[in-house]
Structure 1
Amino acid sequence: MTTKPVLLTGASGALGRQLTRALAAEGLTLRLTDIVPFPDALPTNASFTQADLEDGVAILGLAEGCGTILHFGGVSVEKPFETVIGPNIRGLYHVYEAARREGARVIFASSNHSIGFHEREETLDADCQFRPDGFYGLSKAYGELMGRLYWDKHGVENVNLRIGSSFPEPIDARMLATWLSYADLCRLVHRCTVAEATGHAVIWGASDNSRTWWRKDHRGRIGWAPADTADVFAGQLAGKVSGNPVTERYQGGGFCAMAYSRKAPSPADPLAD
């Protein structure tokens, strides 16, 4: 996989910029793209093309000759449906069509928000039921299912990284369970790129946090294990909660509470699930 160029969408975002530096340092040849300009100096083994994910012809052209597509582009927070559908659904289709044509592997930046309405008392494996907490999370569940389709029908390898909270440091009690350090993210994506084979895989994107809600996944296929942990921040963050009962009940946190209009079920409610 590494002898061919690697296409990175969403390169100008926070995670894209981290990946650009780390993967360029690993010697990979990078083709970067985003809808906005790249804000940093380009590594010598990287090029940048400004493009819209909804422009299928542009995405096909950028992917030509690539062995891997790192798909980190699109809407990255909760937004109205009409805002999400273009880049996150149509754009995703363009990425997978390009991967099918080129025989490339797709590394998809999925999200914990695809399963956000699972309660925090639950411990989930990667094959758990999708329970998206908004239109953004719904688009990520759709993205994982598209990967399943393109593997079953076309043999397109794909790794779906169900990213928790990737920031320089965790900032609240929830992130003691969901935090993924930048260094662990970069190592994870590198291993996904250079692994001999992946098939259709789902990996929890979280560091080695003892408070985790997530366990079994397919990380063994790529030889990755996180090296960092949110545990060192527990003393300062354990009591830092929102006070919102919906936010604190569900794994998706504040995304679950956005525009929430349902009467919250009690734990004793037999129809609570």
Structure 2
Amino acid sequence: MADQRVLITGSAGVVGTLMRPRLRREGRVLRLLDLAPQPAAEPGEAVEVRTGSVTDAEAMASACEGVDAVIHLGGHSRENSWEATLDVNIDGTHTVLEAARAAGVSRVILASSNHSVGFRRTDEGGATGLPADSPPRPDTYYGVSKAAIEALGSLYHSRFGMDVIVIRIGSCFETPLPLGPRGLTTWLSPDDGARLFEACLAAPSPGYRLIWGVSDNTRRIYSLTEAEALGYKSLDNAETYAEQLADRPAPTGIAAEYVGGPFCTAPLGEFNPL
């Protein structure tokens, strides 16, 4: 049987770098696309390193040739100018989806964000957590771009029958420590991230789905019901790191009241490292 070939865009970014070793497995080839430099394949590592932009239609058409699934992580991962956000995140995602459609790729996994619903209150979901398909209420231009990505995924499923799973990722780092106490709510551990992507790749005929990408954190405010329906099982919990954050001030005011946290008050259109 032929190997499964999975294209990962934005593979040199934070999430892509964390997923590269975790999504390797026998019978699978990872095709890694990014503009940034990437390590060459190690001996015995089934990867194909490509240099290219998600905004380049020719590069994307070539990258999608012979691919079974696309994991689209490419794009600006923080607030940026409207022009840059529109070009890379929105137009770039359209370019990716169109290339996948033309190449006959049947499954695309799109990385969205909690910032697509950043102005939803943290207590909206009650005991079970905020539903994964809660309508968008973006907190930034970045959040708007993620809401647009979700809509594009829905369109390409409805028009062309592609299986499209959109993951509203909380925050995916080695640990939740970079985000301080907020990370105890939003963290998706790298290992859970790999479990989630594996579930998205394996789920039979998912159609169009919106799911949350978080670990089963004690302080979680997001529903895992939708992700678990695809076969995801979280084994990690950010609370393991709570003691290390005990001396860090907890969010207050708007940052505590809304899902987007400090993004809800950050200047629009200005790059920030929040």
Give the TM-score, by structure 2 length: 0.88
Q: Which aligned segments of 4 or more residues in structure 1 are displaced greater than 3 angstroms?
A: 39-43, 241-244
Q: Percent identity?
A: 38
Size of the alignment, in residue pairs?
A: 260
Q: Distance in 1 between matches of 2:134 and 2:244?
A: 31
Please report how far the alpha carbon of residue 144 of structure 1 lies from its aligned counterpart in structure 2 after TM superposition: 0.7
Cα deviations across residues 238-265 of structure 1 (Å, max 9, x unaligned)? Answer: 56336663323211112111027xxxxx
Alignment of 1:151 onto 2:157: yes
Asked whether the 8 Å contact 2:169–2:212 carries over to 1, the reply is yes
Aligned runs of 1:79-118 on 2, under 5 Å?
79-101=80-102, 102-118=104-120
Asked whether the 8 Å contact 1:174–1:241 carries over to 2, the reply is no
Closer/same/farther in 2, CA of residues 27 and 118 from structure 1, 3 Å limit? same
Residue equivalent to 1:60 = 61
Q: Secondary structure at the match of 1:29?
A: strand
Residue equivalent to 1:122 = 124
Q: Secondary structure at the match of 2:4?
A: coil
Report the RMSD for the aligned CA atoms in angstroms.
2.0
Q: Secondary structure at the match of 2:23?
A: helix
Q: Distance in 2 between matches of 1:190 and 1:165?
A: 18
User: Structure 2, unaligned stretches of length 5 or more?
Assistant: 269-274
Closer/same/farther in 2, CA of residues 239 and 114 from structure 1, 3 Å limit? farther
Alignment of 1:218 onto 2:226: yes
Q: Distance in 1 between matches of 2:227 and 2:118?
A: 21
Please report how far the alpha carbon of residue 216 of structure 1 lies from its aligned counterpart in structure 2 after TM superposition: 5.3
Q: Distance in 2 between matches of 1:3 and 1:151?
A: 25
Please report how far the alpha carbon of residue 167 of structure 1 lies from its aligned counterpart in structure 2 after TM superposition: 1.2
User: Structure 1, unaligned stretches of length 5 or more?
Assistant: 261-273
Residue equivalent to 1:265 = none
Closer/same/farther in 2, CA of residues 44 and 243 from structure 1, 3 Å limit? closer
Asked whether the 8 Å contact 2:181–2:250 carries over to 1, the reply is no
Alignment of 1:257 onto 2:258: no
Q: Distance in 2 between matches of 1:250 and 1:57?
A: 40
Please report how far the alpha carbon of residue 95 of structure 1 lies from its aligned counterpart in structure 2 after TM superposition: 1.0
Q: Secondary structure at the match of 2:33?
A: strand
Residue equivalent to 1:194 = 202
Q: Secondary structure at the match of 2:60?
A: helix
Q: Distance in 1 between matches of 2:142 and 2:197?
A: 22
Q: Distance in 2 between matches of 1:243 and 1:106?
A: 35
